[in-house]
Structure 1
Amino acid sequence: MNRSMITATNSLSQLQKKLDIISNNIANSDTTGFKKKEATFTDLLVQQFNNQPDSNKETGRLTPTGIRIGVGSKVAKSDMVTAQGSLEQTDRSLDIAFTKENQYLKVLVQDNGKNDVQFTRDGALYVSPVGNNEMMLVNSDGNPILNENDQAITFNKDAQKYNIDQNGKLTITYANGQSTSVNLGVVSVQNPQVLEQAGNNLLKLPQNLNTNLTNVYTNLTGANRANISIEQGSLEKSNVDIGTEMTDLLKTERSYQLQTRAINIADQMMGLVNSMRQ
């Protein structure tokens, strides 16, 4: 395989990764609280040939000396864009939207048979019966929403009214007029790029994390709860701009076509060389 084929093949595999990221963004454009990702590229190893041994003959040259031949490009990083999405008013008491970036609800998820605390911006909450005349606060997939002490939020089935204030305090009013309050579990993520997409609109910590959790997120408890900003009766829409994503998709497809064309031309050249040898 000649050098042009190697270069094009390397770039094709990386362009496919970008196409996957764009496709995922478009597919989740209507997902509540979804945060898009952006891929950035960097050059792979570049080899330089000094075809002019006499530097004196390059006097006055404005471009770099020698010939540089690359071997393609790669996705350098895939960053999650945490920009705030627009809010959609629903007037539903169990719908909430964060109005500050990087704040997330804590959700208890069964992951490979183990309980795992994961995070979400999806504020569409529901109640589910758990027996013993009790109800539990859950997300759309039935996973428990946690309180500030990482405990599932349960309450009597006679609950009739729910109020969630801007600092994440849930007040439940019962049929007899009595009420109870509990603080929703909320974290502020300082380093969102560490988190992995776990599916179902959830984010999780990677396995074998080699950094202190305090460098990744902070539990908003005690005095820090004053930093929480929640709007009841609204949902945050995704921050995906379909126009931008479609433009990036077309540009990436054109780059993909260019690389496949390079492979085709290299194949034709090799065919010509073989025919000349015969």
Structure 2
Amino acid sequence: MNSSMITASVTAGQLQQKLDTISNNIANVNTTGFKRREVTFSDLLHQQINNQTNPNYEMGRLTPAGLRSGVGAKVASTALRLDQGSLVGTDRELDFAITQPNHFFRIGIEENGEQIEYLTRDGAFYLSEDPDNPDLVTIVTSNGDFLLNGGFERISFPLDFEEIQLSPEGMLNITLNDGTVLNAGQLALTHVHKPQLLEAAGNNLYRLPDFAALGYAEADMLEEVPGNEGRLMQGSLEASNVDLGREMNELLTTQRHYQFTTRAMSIADEMAGLVNGIRR
């Protein structure tokens, strides 16, 4: 009975993690560029119990001998699924949709006077005053973090502009009020070859891992590619790749599994109460 309680309680805790993951997916069904996560399970340790000491009683047995007693299941992985989301037209100059998987925008965040680089698929950008020059504006995310170009620098241009256009080569061309066309730099993307190693950093951002600690060279993990027409689409956004119907089905199934697990704990507790209540 104690084994039943342990197995059920361990599995219930792991099922709660899956419920949390599904809830996070559902909560971000309308988040631009969001990528869902999928939970998989694996068995925990188990032991072989040889309950039959006389082999003569096992003659003709077709099933494996003995009993296998496990202690539940655990979350094996929470995989990031980078399936392409649908493209939604916005006709907005600062909306850029990535059209290929495993590609990300490079974002720079100031932390303790140092620029830390993050990745995102969210292509909804805005303009903000350049902190180094009040006569310039720079492209930022909705949280005020800087969009970086191919040289890992901010994209800045004068305030008196009229139009922002992405060229087929991935160049950002800024048309000023006097008709002058200014090249603000190339909009580059980061191609991640092993996206499962990315660490979620919140706010729809991903943090790059410590490649040296993992035994990888950065050149084997990342590749900077130009944001040309084959990879970027101006005036559009990539929607979340969360399928609400599928997530609701997974939610109901997991809740039912959780219900069965808690019922097993309740039954084990009732059996323990019956045993403890037996009197001579």
Please give the range of the TM-score, normalised by the shorter of the 2 chains: over 0.9
Give the letter for the 1:6 counterpart: I
Asked whether the equivalents of residues 165 and 231 of structure 1 are also in contact (C-alpha less than 8 Å), the reply is no
2:275 match: 273
Give the letter for the 1:80 counterpart: L
The Cα RMSD (Å) is 2.0
Taking the aligned partners of 1:112 and 1:40, their CA distance within structure 2 comes to 38
Asked whether the equivalents of residues 95 and 232 of structure 1 are also in contact (C-alpha less than 8 Å), the reply is yes
Give the letter for the 1:3 counterpart: S
2:3 match: 3
1:258 match: 260
Taking the aligned partners of 1:84 and 1:205, their CA distance within structure 2 comes to 21
1:204 match: 207
Deviation at 1:124, TM superposition (A): 0.7
Taking the aligned partners of 2:23 and 2:111, their CA distance within structure 1 comes to 25
Helix, strand or coil for the counterpart of 1:128? strand
Taking the aligned partners of 1:185 and 1:19, their CA distance within structure 2 comes to 36
Deviation at 1:58, TM superposition (A): 4.0
Q: Is the alpha carbon distance of 1:92 and 1:227 closer, same or farther for their aligned partners in structure 2, counting shifts above 3 Å? A: closer
Deviation at 1:160, TM superposition (A): 1.1
- Pairing 1:223-238 to 2, within 5 Å after superposition: 229-238=231-240
Deviation at 1:167, TM superposition (A): 4.4
2:76 match: 76
Deviation at 1:129, TM superposition (A): 1.6
2:105 match: 105
Deviation at 1:98, TM superposition (A): 0.9
Percentage identity across paired residues of the two chains = 47
Deviation at 1:113, TM superposition (A): 6.2
1:215 match: 220
Give the letter for the 2:222 counterpart: Y
Taking the aligned partners of 1:21 and 1:143, their CA distance within structure 2 comes to 26
Structure 2 unaligned spans of 5+: none
Taking the aligned partners of 2:229 and 2:198, their CA distance within structure 1 comes to 21
Q: Is the alpha carbon distance of 1:196 and 1:274 closer, same or farther for their aligned partners in structure 2, counting shifts above 3 Å? A: same
Structure 1 unaligned spans of 5+: none
Asked whether the equivalents of residues 170 and 229 of structure 2 are also in contact (C-alpha less than 8 Å), the reply is no
1:195 match: 198
Taking the aligned partners of 1:114 and 1:156, their CA distance within structure 2 comes to 25
Deviation at 1:212, TM superposition (A): 2.0
Deviation at 1:166, TM superposition (A): 4.6
* TM-score of the superposed pair, with normalisation by structure 2: 0.92
Helix, strand or coil for the counterpart of 1:245? helix
Asked whether the equivalents of residues 170 and 228 of structure 2 are also in contact (C-alpha less than 8 Å), the reply is no
- 140-149 or 47-56: bigger deviation: 47-56
Asked whether the equivalents of residues 6 and 71 of structure 2 are also in contact (C-alpha less than 8 Å), the reply is yes
Q: Is the alpha carbon distance of 1:153 and 1:73 closer, same or farther for their aligned partners in structure 2, counting shifts above 3 Å? A: same
Correspondent of 1:245 among 244, 247, 262: 247
Deviation at 1:177, TM superposition (A): 1.3
Helix, strand or coil for the counterpart of 1:64? coil
Deviation at 1:171, TM superposition (A): 1.0
Q: Is the alpha carbon distance of 1:156 and 1:113 closer, same or farther for their aligned partners in structure 2, counting shifts above 3 Å? A: closer
2:125 match: 125
Q: Deviations over 1:28-69 (max 9, x none)?
A: 000001000000001100111122345565455432221111
Taking the aligned partners of 1:89 and 1:234, their CA distance within structure 2 comes to 4
- 128-137 or 144-153: bigger deviation: 128-137
Taking the aligned partners of 2:168 and 2:17, their CA distance within structure 1 comes to 39
Taking the aligned partners of 1:65 and 1:100, their CA distance within structure 2 comes to 52
Taking the aligned partners of 1:72 and 1:29, their CA distance within structure 2 comes to 31
Asked whether the equivalents of residues 106 and 147 of structure 2 are also in contact (C-alpha less than 8 Å), the reply is yes
2:92 match: 92
Q: How many residues align?
A: 275
1:143 match: 145
Taking the aligned partners of 1:209 and 1:137, their CA distance within structure 2 comes to 33
Asked whether the equivalents of residues 220 and 228 of structure 1 are also in contact (C-alpha less than 8 Å), the reply is no
Taking the aligned partners of 2:59 and 2:169, their CA distance within structure 1 comes to 68
2:67 match: 67
Give the letter for the 1:172 counterpart: I
* TM-score of the superposed pair, with normalisation by structure 1: 0.92
Asked whether the equivalents of residues 165 and 230 of structure 1 are also in contact (C-alpha less than 8 Å), the reply is no
